[in-house]
Amino acid sequence: MFVIEIVQIVVVAAAIIIPVRFFLVQPFYVRGASMEPTFFDKEYLLIDEITYRFAEPKRGDVVVFRYPRDPSEFFIKRIVGMPGDTVDVKDGGVTITNQDHAGGVVLEETYLDQPVTIGNKHVTLNPDEYFLLGDNRGSSLDSRNFGPVKEEYIVGKVWLRGLPLDRFSLFEPTTYEQLEPAVSGDE
């Protein structure tokens, strides 16, 4: 009788845990310094895998994705360029040009410790591509090196920092107010 109860508990637990793990939330362990100061080496994160099944990724989301040059590896970076954008990395900044901002807008990246983006890169993104950068621009292998990332490689967005416990928090994506469409009111 005891063995049957144990088997029932294991089966019920597996029926709950397996779908959650494989379809809704995935654990991710940060390796390296490319996302400092937002995320540090050895932090334990939970990745929301369900949202992008119903909505498109957004600028400012921090995402986990498969490295385009070796899809067995996973990276974590921030979305700065959206499909259709032209992204220019030059003079220490990131400029986004798109339909709404034909003159280009320099991103205000308040989350960076050192607000200088090294390198020169000019790319216009295809309808299924994103430009991803690490928050530690001096120590990040990102779209400046390997180019845009196709949407199919994006696994999910960071939802929660679980460890260390003193930094436990839900993660809210960054918004770039200077790129938000102007709201017109009735005057």
* Catalytic choice (34, 121, 140, 157): 34
**Number of Cβ atoms within 10 Å of the Cβ of 101:** 15
* Amino acid at the residue 70: D
Specify whether 121 is catalytic.
no
> Is the distance from CB of 155 to CB of 46 less than 8 angstroms?
no
Specify whether 72 is catalytic.
no
Nearest to 84 by CA among 109, 116, 52, 59: 59
* Amino acid at the residue 117: T
Contacts of 24 (CB under 8 A, 6+ apart): 48, 49, 50
Strand (E) or helix (H) holding 16: helix 2-19
**Number of Cβ atoms within 10 Å of the Cβ of 169:** 8
Q: Which residues are catalytic?
A: 34, 77
